[in-house]
Amino acid sequence: APVEETLVLVKPDGVARSLTGEILRRIEAKGYQLVDIRLVHADRDLLAKHYEEHQGKPFYEPLVEFMESGPVVAMRVAGDRVIEGFRMLAGTTDPTTAAPGTIRGDLGRDWGLAVQQNLVHGSDSQESAARELALWFA
């Protein structure tokens, strides 16, 4: 079987805080392979497709506004069970309570910032990964 791939995004807070290198370092240190990478200033159309599962939720508008507030770094990352594995590296959604040792737990901030400023996105299933990789690496 071909090796599994996932979409990782370094969100605008991660890019603005110059954490792209630290996040990629953790991905590479784990043994995952960087297959493609690009800096993208996403527009609303791309973000609406990316976050279509969250449309209508109370946090959807602030989330999209945040994601279009600055450039993001999109990465195509490959590895054995990388979809689940990267989400373990990232930690739980809310950085306030994400475990130490994870990207969100070690680097995420709780200075009254909204939970959407949690540094990274990782696809959550093989279906999501295929759909999201096609969007960001069209």
Residues serving a catalytic function are 121
The mark string for 18-37 relative to ligand DAT (x by CB under 6 A, - otherwise) is --------------------
Q: How far apart, in Å, are the Cα atoms of 137 and each of 15, 28, 36, 75?
A: 19, 20, 8, 9
Choices 14-22, 42-50, 95-103, 118-126; region in contact with ligand DAT by CB under 6 A: 118-126
- Binding partner at 123 among Mg ion, ligand DAT, none, C-beta below 5 to 8 Å by kind: none
Three-class secondary structure of residue 57 per DSSP: coil
From CA 18, how far away is CA 63, in angstroms rounded? 20
Question: In this structure, what token pair is assigned to residue 133?
Answer: 């990789």
Residues tagged in the binding site annotation for ATP: 11, 59, 87, 93, 104, 118
Residues tagged in the binding site annotation: 11, 59, 87, 93, 104, 118
